[in-house]
Chain A
Protein backbone atom coordinates (compact mmCIF):
# COMPACT_ATOMS: atom_id res chain seq x y z
CA UNK A 1 0.00 0.00 0.00
CA UNK A 2 1.32 3.43 -0.76
CA UNK A 3 0.69 6.54 1.27
CA UNK A 4 0.52 10.09 0.10
CA UNK A 5 2.98 12.03 2.25
CA UNK A 6 2.63 15.79 2.03
CA UNK A 7 4.79 18.42 3.70
CA UNK A 8 2.98 20.32 6.47
CA UNK A 9 5.13 23.44 6.84
CA UNK A 10 8.89 22.85 6.85
CA UNK A 11 9.05 20.66 9.98
CA UNK A 12 6.29 18.06 9.51
CA UNK A 13 4.86 15.42 7.17
CA UNK A 14 1.21 14.48 6.96
CA UNK A 15 0.07 11.12 5.59
CA UNK A 16 -3.45 10.17 4.60
CA UNK A 17 -4.45 6.85 6.15
CA UNK A 18 -6.60 4.20 4.48
CA UNK A 19 -10.30 4.31 5.36
CA UNK A 20 -11.61 2.09 8.09
CA UNK A 21 -8.47 1.40 10.10
CA UNK A 22 -9.23 0.60 13.74
CA UNK A 23 -7.88 2.43 16.77
CA UNK A 24 -5.63 -0.44 17.81
CA UNK A 25 -3.78 -0.56 14.50
CA UNK A 26 -3.45 3.21 14.48
CA UNK A 27 -1.97 2.95 17.98
CA UNK A 28 0.69 0.62 16.57
CA UNK A 29 1.40 3.21 13.90
CA UNK A 30 1.55 6.02 16.48
CA UNK A 31 4.10 4.17 18.56
CA UNK A 32 6.14 3.15 15.52
CA UNK A 33 6.36 6.73 14.30
CA UNK A 34 7.17 8.12 17.76
CA UNK A 35 10.12 5.72 17.99
CA UNK A 36 11.76 7.08 14.82
CA UNK A 37 14.90 9.22 15.22
CA UNK A 38 14.51 13.01 14.99
CA UNK A 39 10.74 12.79 15.52
CA UNK A 40 9.50 15.05 18.34
CA UNK A 41 5.72 14.74 17.99
CA UNK A 42 3.21 12.44 16.30
CA UNK A 43 -0.55 12.82 16.06
CA UNK A 44 -2.62 10.02 14.54
CA UNK A 45 -6.25 10.92 13.88
CA UNK A 46 -8.87 8.83 12.09
CA UNK A 47 -7.69 9.74 8.61
CA UNK A 48 -4.21 11.18 9.01
CA UNK A 49 -0.84 10.76 10.66
CA UNK A 50 1.22 13.85 11.44
CA UNK A 51 4.94 13.54 12.11
CA UNK A 52 6.75 16.60 13.50
CA UNK A 53 10.55 16.63 13.20
CA UNK A 54 13.04 18.27 15.53
CA UNK A 55 13.97 21.81 14.47
CA UNK A 56 16.72 21.80 11.87
CA UNK A 57 16.12 18.24 10.64
CA UNK A 58 15.59 18.32 6.88
CA UNK A 59 12.16 17.02 5.84
CA UNK A 60 13.50 14.86 3.01
CA UNK A 61 15.94 13.04 5.26
CA UNK A 62 13.12 11.58 7.39
CA UNK A 63 10.73 10.76 4.59
CA UNK A 64 11.84 7.21 3.84
CA UNK A 65 11.74 6.00 7.44
CA UNK A 66 8.26 7.46 7.88
CA UNK A 67 7.01 5.83 4.66
CA UNK A 68 8.47 2.48 5.75
CA UNK A 69 6.77 2.70 9.15
CA UNK A 70 3.44 3.54 7.51
CA UNK A 71 3.74 0.61 5.12
CA UNK A 72 4.67 -1.81 7.90
CA UNK A 73 1.75 -0.73 10.10
CA UNK A 74 -0.75 -1.23 7.30
CA UNK A 75 0.44 -4.76 6.50
CA UNK A 76 2.01 -6.33 9.55
CA UNK A 77 4.01 -9.48 9.03
CA UNK A 78 2.02 -12.51 10.28
CA UNK A 79 4.38 -13.14 13.19
CA UNK A 80 4.31 -9.52 14.30
CA UNK A 81 2.07 -9.00 17.33
CA UNK A 82 -0.38 -6.20 16.54
CA UNK A 83 -1.71 -5.81 20.07
CA UNK A 84 -0.38 -2.72 21.75
CA UNK A 85 -0.93 -2.13 25.47
CA UNK A 86 -4.56 -1.09 25.28
CA UNK A 87 -6.42 -0.22 28.44
CA UNK A 88 -10.07 -0.43 29.42
CA UNK A 89 -11.68 2.50 31.22
CA UNK A 90 -14.89 2.42 33.20
CA UNK A 91 -16.26 5.92 33.67
CA UNK A 92 -19.05 6.60 36.16
CA UNK A 93 -21.57 9.16 34.89
CA UNK A 94 -24.26 11.17 36.62
CA UNK A 95 -26.74 11.45 33.74
CA UNK A 96 -28.24 14.85 34.51
CA UNK A 97 -26.82 16.87 31.60
CA UNK A 98 -28.38 20.11 30.39
CA UNK A 99 -29.25 18.58 26.99
CA UNK A 100 -30.55 15.18 28.13
CA UNK A 101 -34.20 16.19 27.74
CA UNK A 102 -33.58 17.78 24.33
CA UNK A 103 -31.65 14.75 23.10
CA UNK A 104 -34.52 12.53 24.22
CA UNK A 105 -37.18 14.59 22.48
CA UNK A 106 -35.14 15.06 19.27
CA UNK A 107 -34.40 11.35 19.00
CA UNK A 108 -37.89 10.28 20.06
CA UNK A 109 -36.54 8.28 22.97
CA UNK A 110 -37.20 8.56 26.67
CA UNK A 111 -34.40 9.97 28.87
CA UNK A 112 -34.00 6.54 30.43
CA UNK A 113 -33.56 5.02 26.97
CA UNK A 114 -30.93 7.62 26.01
CA UNK A 115 -29.00 6.77 29.17
CA UNK A 116 -29.37 3.03 28.66
CA UNK A 117 -28.17 3.27 25.05
CA UNK A 118 -25.24 5.59 25.85
CA UNK A 119 -24.10 3.49 28.80
CA UNK A 120 -24.81 0.23 27.01
CA UNK A 121 -22.26 0.76 24.25
CA UNK A 122 -18.57 -0.17 24.26
CA UNK A 123 -16.48 2.64 22.78
CA UNK A 124 -13.01 2.89 21.30
CA UNK A 125 -10.66 5.90 21.46
CA UNK A 126 -10.48 6.77 17.80
CA UNK A 127 -8.41 9.95 18.16
CA UNK A 128 -6.99 12.27 20.81
CA UNK A 129 -7.19 16.02 20.28
CA UNK A 130 -9.09 19.29 20.81
CA UNK A 131 -7.99 19.63 24.47
CA UNK A 132 -5.31 17.91 26.58
CA UNK A 133 -6.71 14.49 27.45
CA UNK A 134 -9.78 14.74 25.20
CA UNK A 135 -10.62 11.42 23.53
CA UNK A 136 -12.93 11.11 20.51
CA UNK A 137 -14.89 7.93 21.26
CA UNK A 138 -16.63 5.80 18.63
CA UNK A 139 -19.04 4.42 17.85
CA UNK A 140 -22.10 6.05 19.21
CA UNK A 141 -25.32 4.08 18.74
CA UNK A 142 -26.97 5.35 15.51
CA UNK A 143 -30.13 6.16 17.45
CA UNK A 144 -28.21 8.95 19.22
CA UNK A 145 -26.71 10.53 16.08
CA UNK A 146 -27.22 14.30 16.19
CA UNK A 147 -25.40 17.17 14.52
CA UNK A 148 -23.51 19.56 16.78
CA UNK A 149 -25.60 22.23 18.46
CA UNK A 150 -26.41 25.12 16.13
CA UNK A 151 -24.89 27.55 18.63
CA UNK A 152 -21.92 26.33 20.66
CA UNK A 153 -21.93 27.07 24.39
CA UNK A 154 -19.29 29.60 25.46
CA UNK A 155 -18.48 27.38 28.43
CA UNK A 156 -19.02 23.66 28.84
CA UNK A 157 -18.11 22.55 32.40
CA UNK A 158 -15.13 20.26 32.93
CA UNK A 159 -16.02 16.53 33.07
CA UNK A 160 -19.14 16.98 30.94
CA UNK A 161 -20.04 13.78 29.07
CA UNK A 162 -21.34 14.76 25.66
CA UNK A 163 -22.28 13.50 22.20
CA UNK A 164 -22.10 14.91 18.65
CA UNK A 165 -22.14 13.17 15.28
CA UNK A 166 -20.78 9.64 15.65
CA UNK A 167 -18.78 10.56 18.77
CA UNK A 168 -19.05 10.76 22.50
CA UNK A 169 -16.42 12.14 24.87
CA UNK A 170 -15.57 13.69 28.24
CA UNK A 171 -14.49 17.36 28.38
CA UNK A 172 -11.28 17.35 30.46
CA UNK A 173 -11.45 21.11 31.05
CA UNK A 174 -14.09 23.81 30.90
CA UNK A 175 -14.12 25.08 27.35
CA UNK A 176 -16.38 26.42 24.63
CA UNK A 177 -18.16 23.50 22.99
CA UNK A 178 -20.95 22.51 20.65
CA UNK A 179 -21.70 18.97 21.80
CA UNK A 180 -24.89 17.83 23.55
CA UNK A 181 -24.40 17.39 27.29
CA UNK A 182 -25.73 14.13 28.73
CA UNK A 183 -24.14 14.24 32.18
CA UNK A 184 -21.01 14.54 34.29
CA UNK A 185 -18.22 12.03 34.79
CA UNK A 186 -17.69 11.22 38.47
CA UNK A 187 -14.31 10.33 39.96
CA UNK A 188 -12.62 10.33 36.56
CA UNK A 189 -9.45 12.34 35.85
CA UNK A 190 -9.12 12.70 32.06
CA UNK A 191 -5.86 14.61 32.33
CA UNK A 192 -3.32 14.59 35.15
CA UNK A 193 -0.53 17.14 35.15
CA UNK A 194 1.96 14.50 36.34
CA UNK A 195 1.03 11.58 34.12
CA UNK A 196 -0.79 13.22 31.20
CA UNK A 197 -3.88 11.87 29.44
CA UNK A 198 -5.76 8.97 31.05
CA UNK A 199 -6.90 7.60 27.69
CA UNK A 200 -4.82 6.69 24.67
CA UNK A 201 -5.59 5.88 21.06
CA UNK A 202 -7.22 2.45 20.77
CA UNK A 203 -8.26 2.18 24.44
CA UNK A 204 -11.75 0.82 25.26
CA UNK A 205 -14.24 2.86 27.28
CA UNK A 206 -17.53 2.06 28.97
CA UNK A 207 -19.80 4.52 30.73
CA UNK A 208 -21.68 3.37 33.82
CA UNK A 209 -24.69 5.24 35.16
CA UNK A 210 -24.26 6.32 38.76
CA UNK A 211 -26.32 3.90 40.82
CA UNK A 212 -25.57 1.01 38.44
CA UNK A 213 -21.97 0.57 39.63
CA UNK A 214 -22.58 -3.03 40.60
CA UNK A 215 -23.60 -3.91 37.03
CA UNK A 216 -21.01 -5.98 35.16
Chain B
Protein backbone atom coordinates (compact mmCIF):
# COMPACT_ATOMS: atom_id res chain seq x y z
CA UNK B 1 0.00 0.00 0.00
CA UNK B 2 1.21 3.50 -0.73
CA UNK B 3 -0.20 6.85 0.28
CA UNK B 4 0.16 9.97 -1.84
CA UNK B 5 1.45 12.68 0.51
CA UNK B 6 1.76 15.53 -1.99
CA UNK B 7 1.40 16.23 -5.71
CA UNK B 8 2.46 19.39 -7.45
CA UNK B 9 1.49 19.29 -11.09
CA UNK B 10 -0.27 16.26 -12.55
CA UNK B 11 0.19 12.62 -11.57
CA UNK B 12 -1.77 9.64 -12.93
CA UNK B 13 -1.54 5.85 -12.99
CA UNK B 14 -0.28 4.70 -16.40
CA UNK B 15 0.69 1.33 -17.83
CA UNK B 16 1.48 -0.06 -21.27
CA UNK B 17 -1.91 1.07 -22.58
CA UNK B 18 -5.13 -0.54 -23.81
CA UNK B 19 -4.64 -1.43 -27.47
CA UNK B 20 -7.45 -3.11 -29.39
CA UNK B 21 -10.27 -0.65 -28.68
CA UNK B 22 -9.63 2.15 -31.16
CA UNK B 23 -12.65 1.06 -33.22
CA UNK B 24 -14.78 2.04 -30.19
CA UNK B 25 -13.16 5.47 -30.05
CA UNK B 26 -10.79 4.48 -27.22
CA UNK B 27 -7.24 5.82 -27.66
CA UNK B 28 -4.32 3.42 -27.19
CA UNK B 29 -3.03 5.11 -24.03
CA UNK B 30 0.32 4.12 -22.57
CA UNK B 31 3.11 6.20 -21.06
CA UNK B 32 4.08 9.48 -22.70
CA UNK B 33 7.67 8.19 -22.50
CA UNK B 34 7.51 4.37 -22.70
CA UNK B 35 11.27 4.06 -22.31
CA UNK B 36 11.23 5.76 -18.89
CA UNK B 37 8.34 3.74 -17.43
CA UNK B 38 10.19 0.62 -18.65
CA UNK B 39 13.35 1.79 -16.89
CA UNK B 40 11.57 2.42 -13.58
CA UNK B 41 9.82 -0.95 -13.82
CA UNK B 42 13.07 -2.77 -14.62
CA UNK B 43 14.68 -1.33 -11.50
CA UNK B 44 12.04 -2.93 -9.26
CA UNK B 45 11.92 -6.19 -11.23
CA UNK B 46 8.56 -5.61 -12.95
CA UNK B 47 7.57 -6.36 -16.51
CA UNK B 48 8.25 -3.14 -18.47
CA UNK B 49 4.59 -2.24 -19.16
CA UNK B 50 3.44 -2.70 -15.53
CA UNK B 51 1.31 0.11 -14.07
CA UNK B 52 3.27 2.89 -12.39
CA UNK B 53 2.88 6.61 -11.75
CA UNK B 54 3.41 9.24 -14.45
CA UNK B 55 4.32 12.55 -12.85
CA UNK B 56 4.41 15.99 -14.48
CA UNK B 57 5.91 18.01 -11.64
CA UNK B 58 6.66 16.42 -8.28
CA UNK B 59 5.15 13.76 -6.06
CA UNK B 60 5.77 12.56 -2.51
CA UNK B 61 4.56 9.19 -1.25
CA UNK B 62 5.01 6.85 1.66
CA UNK B 63 4.41 3.13 1.81
CA UNK B 64 4.25 0.07 3.99
CA UNK B 65 7.69 -0.83 5.36
CA UNK B 66 9.60 -2.89 2.81
CA UNK B 67 7.85 -1.45 -0.27
CA UNK B 68 10.30 -1.40 -3.15
CA UNK B 69 10.18 1.74 -5.28
CA UNK B 70 12.22 3.30 -8.08
CA UNK B 71 11.97 6.30 -10.34
CA UNK B 72 13.06 6.34 -13.98
CA UNK B 73 16.58 7.06 -12.72
CA UNK B 74 16.65 3.35 -11.96
CA UNK B 75 17.72 3.39 -8.31
CA UNK B 76 15.92 0.81 -6.17
CA UNK B 77 14.84 2.04 -2.72
CA UNK B 78 13.27 0.04 0.10
CA UNK B 79 10.87 2.22 2.06
CA UNK B 80 10.79 2.32 5.83
CA UNK B 81 7.50 2.80 7.67
CA UNK B 82 6.22 6.39 7.34
CA UNK B 83 9.33 7.36 5.44
CA UNK B 84 8.46 9.91 2.74
CA UNK B 85 9.93 9.35 -0.70
CA UNK B 86 9.91 12.04 -3.34
CA UNK B 87 10.34 12.32 -7.08
CA UNK B 88 10.81 15.78 -8.60
CA UNK B 89 10.70 17.09 -12.14
CA UNK B 90 14.18 18.62 -12.05
CA UNK B 91 13.82 19.92 -15.59
CA UNK B 92 12.44 16.67 -16.99
CA UNK B 93 9.19 16.74 -18.96
CA UNK B 94 7.80 13.83 -17.00
CA UNK B 95 8.98 11.37 -14.35
CA UNK B 96 7.92 7.80 -13.64
CA UNK B 97 7.56 5.87 -10.40
CA UNK B 98 7.45 2.08 -10.30
CA UNK B 99 6.57 -0.11 -7.32
CA UNK B 100 7.55 -3.75 -7.14
CA UNK B 101 4.36 -5.62 -8.06
CA UNK B 102 2.90 -2.65 -9.90
CA UNK B 103 -0.20 -0.71 -8.91
CA UNK B 104 -3.29 -2.78 -8.29
CA UNK B 105 -6.04 -0.66 -9.82
CA UNK B 106 -8.75 -2.49 -11.82
CA UNK B 107 -8.13 -3.25 -15.46
CA UNK B 108 -10.53 -1.35 -17.69
CA UNK B 109 -10.76 -2.67 -21.25
CA UNK B 110 -7.45 -4.44 -20.74
CA UNK B 111 -5.48 -1.50 -19.33
CA UNK B 112 -4.84 0.04 -15.92
CA UNK B 113 -3.88 3.48 -17.24
CA UNK B 114 -5.87 6.67 -16.66
CA UNK B 115 -7.75 8.28 -19.55
CA UNK B 116 -8.56 11.67 -18.02
CA UNK B 117 -10.89 12.88 -20.80
CA UNK B 118 -13.24 9.95 -20.21
CA UNK B 119 -12.64 9.56 -16.46
CA UNK B 120 -11.66 5.97 -17.20
CA UNK B 121 -9.10 3.60 -15.67
CA UNK B 122 -6.36 4.38 -13.17
CA UNK B 123 -7.42 5.54 -9.72
CA UNK B 124 -11.15 6.35 -10.09
CA UNK B 125 -10.40 7.69 -13.58
CA UNK B 126 -8.78 10.83 -12.19
CA UNK B 127 -5.49 12.49 -11.37
CA UNK B 128 -3.92 11.55 -8.02
CA UNK B 129 -4.18 13.89 -5.07
CA UNK B 130 -2.97 14.11 -1.51
CA UNK B 131 -4.39 11.37 0.69
CA UNK B 132 -5.04 8.84 -2.08
CA UNK B 133 -4.17 5.29 -1.05
CA UNK B 134 -3.13 2.83 -3.76
CA UNK B 135 -2.72 -0.93 -3.44
CA UNK B 136 0.54 -2.42 -4.62
CA UNK B 137 0.18 -5.58 -6.72
CA UNK B 138 1.66 -9.04 -6.21
CA UNK B 139 5.08 -9.32 -7.84
CA UNK B 140 4.84 -11.61 -10.85
CA UNK B 141 8.57 -12.15 -11.16
CA UNK B 142 11.17 -13.44 -8.72
CA UNK B 143 13.90 -11.21 -10.01
CA UNK B 144 14.33 -8.29 -7.66
CA UNK B 145 15.46 -5.66 -10.07
CA UNK B 146 17.87 -5.11 -12.86
CA UNK B 147 19.43 -2.12 -14.48
CA UNK B 148 18.23 -1.07 -17.91
CA UNK B 149 20.53 0.90 -20.13
CA UNK B 150 19.49 4.54 -20.38
CA UNK B 151 18.03 5.14 -23.83
CA UNK B 152 19.20 8.03 -25.96
CA UNK B 153 16.32 10.48 -25.70
CA UNK B 154 18.23 13.32 -27.36
CA UNK B 155 18.65 13.74 -31.07
CA UNK B 156 16.37 13.97 -34.07
CA UNK B 157 12.90 12.46 -34.22
CA UNK B 158 12.44 9.99 -37.08
CA UNK B 159 9.32 10.34 -39.23
CA UNK B 160 7.68 8.59 -42.17
CA UNK B 161 6.24 11.06 -44.72
CA UNK B 162 2.49 11.11 -45.42
CA UNK B 163 -0.18 9.91 -45.69
CA UNK B 164 -1.75 13.27 -46.71
CA UNK B 165 1.23 14.74 -48.60
CA UNK B 166 -0.94 15.86 -51.53
CA UNK B 167 -2.74 18.32 -49.23
CA UNK B 168 0.48 20.22 -48.51
CA UNK B 169 2.67 22.67 -50.34
CA UNK B 170 5.48 20.63 -51.99
CA UNK B 171 8.00 22.38 -49.71
CA UNK B 172 6.13 21.62 -46.48
CA UNK B 173 7.97 18.33 -45.92
CA UNK B 174 11.33 20.06 -46.46
CA UNK B 175 10.32 22.73 -43.95
CA UNK B 176 9.43 20.00 -41.43
CA UNK B 177 12.76 18.22 -41.96
CA UNK B 178 14.98 21.31 -42.10
CA UNK B 179 13.56 23.45 -39.30
CA UNK B 180 13.81 23.71 -35.57
CA UNK B 181 10.57 23.35 -33.61
CA UNK B 182 9.96 23.86 -29.91
CA UNK B 183 7.55 22.10 -27.56
CA UNK B 184 4.62 24.37 -26.70
CA UNK B 185 3.43 24.72 -23.10
CA UNK B 186 -0.10 23.63 -24.05
CA UNK B 187 1.13 20.12 -24.89
CA UNK B 188 -0.34 17.20 -22.97
CA UNK B 189 -1.02 13.48 -23.29
CA UNK B 190 -3.54 14.18 -26.05
CA UNK B 191 -1.13 16.03 -28.29
CA UNK B 192 2.29 17.64 -28.39
CA UNK B 193 1.99 21.08 -29.94
CA UNK B 194 5.03 22.47 -31.69
CA UNK B 195 6.10 26.04 -32.40
CA UNK B 196 8.05 26.67 -35.58
CA UNK B 197 7.75 27.84 -39.16
CA UNK B 198 4.25 27.17 -40.55
CA UNK B 199 3.73 24.02 -42.60
CA UNK B 200 1.72 25.29 -45.54
CA UNK B 201 -1.28 23.39 -46.83
CA UNK B 202 -2.74 23.66 -50.31
CA UNK B 203 -6.04 21.96 -49.46
CA UNK B 204 -8.55 22.28 -46.67
CA UNK B 205 -9.34 19.96 -43.82
CA UNK B 206 -10.12 16.34 -44.59
CA UNK B 207 -13.88 16.91 -44.74
CA UNK B 208 -14.82 13.84 -42.78
CA UNK B 209 -12.93 12.67 -39.72
CA UNK B 210 -10.13 10.26 -40.56
CA UNK B 211 -8.38 7.64 -38.43
CA UNK B 212 -5.35 8.85 -36.48
CA UNK B 213 -2.40 7.08 -34.91
CA UNK B 214 -0.08 8.04 -32.08
CA UNK B 215 2.76 10.06 -33.60
CA UNK B 216 0.68 11.47 -36.48
CA UNK B 217 1.72 15.07 -37.23
CA UNK B 218 -1.62 16.80 -37.84
CA UNK B 219 -1.53 20.29 -39.31
CA UNK B 220 -4.46 22.66 -38.64
CA UNK B 221 -5.03 25.68 -40.91
CA UNK B 222 -2.61 27.78 -38.81
CA UNK B 223 0.24 25.53 -40.00
CA UNK B 224 1.42 24.81 -36.43
CA UNK B 225 1.78 21.02 -36.08
CA UNK B 226 0.24 18.85 -33.36
CA UNK B 227 1.76 15.40 -32.80
CA UNK B 228 -0.83 12.91 -31.55
CA UNK B 229 -0.02 11.63 -28.05
CA UNK B 230 -1.10 8.43 -26.26
CA UNK B 231 -4.60 9.80 -25.48
CA UNK B 232 -5.25 11.19 -28.97
CA UNK B 233 -8.77 11.14 -30.44
CA UNK B 234 -9.01 8.08 -32.68
CA UNK B 235 -10.22 10.24 -35.56
CA UNK B 236 -9.31 13.75 -36.61
CA UNK B 237 -10.01 16.21 -39.39
CA UNK B 238 -6.63 17.84 -40.10
CA UNK B 239 -4.30 16.48 -42.78
CA UNK B 240 -1.21 14.55 -41.66
CA UNK B 241 2.14 15.58 -43.14
CA UNK B 242 4.19 12.79 -41.54
CA UNK B 243 4.14 10.39 -38.60
CA UNK B 244 6.73 9.80 -35.89
CA UNK B 245 8.08 6.22 -35.84
CA UNK B 246 7.54 3.99 -32.81
CA UNK B 247 11.23 4.13 -31.86
CA UNK B 248 11.17 7.93 -31.57
CA UNK B 249 8.01 8.34 -29.46
CA UNK B 250 9.94 8.26 -26.19
CA UNK B 251 12.46 10.84 -27.36
CA UNK B 252 9.67 13.20 -28.44
CA UNK B 253 7.57 12.66 -25.31
CA UNK B 254 10.56 13.33 -23.06
CA UNK B 255 11.26 16.79 -24.51
CA UNK B 256 10.47 19.46 -21.92
CA UNK B 257 8.38 22.49 -22.80
CA UNK B 258 10.54 24.86 -24.84
CA UNK B 259 13.02 22.16 -25.87
CA UNK B 260 14.15 21.86 -29.47
CA UNK B 261 12.66 19.21 -31.76
CA UNK B 262 14.20 18.34 -35.12
CA UNK B 263 12.76 15.80 -37.52
CA UNK B 264 14.59 13.49 -39.88
CA UNK B 265 13.24 11.08 -42.51
CA UNK B 266 13.23 7.49 -41.26
CA UNK B 267 15.80 5.15 -42.90
Chain A residues within CB distance 8 Å of chain B: 6-12, 14, 30, 34, 40-50, 52, 55, 127-134, 136, 172-173, 175, 191, 193-194, 196-197, 200-201
Contact = CB atoms under 8 A, between A and B. Distances in A.
B117 interface: yes
B243 interface: yes
Given A8-B162, A10-B266, A48-B210, A130 B23 contact: no
A11 B25 contact: no
Given A10-B245, A55-B246, A129-B211, A41 B23 contact: yes
A43 B234 contact: yes
A131 B245 contact: no
Nearest to B207: A47
B20 interface: yes
Interface in B198-234: 206-213, 215-216, 233-234
B160 A7 contact: yes
A173 B26 CA distance: 12
A65 B180 CA distance: 39
A194 B162 CA distance: 36
B19 interface: yes
By secondary structure, the B interface counts as loop
Interface residues of B, number: 42
Given A9-B244, A131-B118, A196-B109, A45 B235 contact: yes
B247 to A, nearest CB: 8
6 contacts: A43-B23, A47-B206, A47-B207, A50-B22, A129-B233, A173-B119
B23 A34 contact: yes
A42 B23 CA distance: 6
Contacts of B21: 41, 132, 196
Nearest to A47: B208
Contact of A129 (B162, B213, B235): B235
B211 A14 contact: yes
B115 interface: yes
Given A47-B208, A129-B235, A131-B233, A41 B117 contact: no
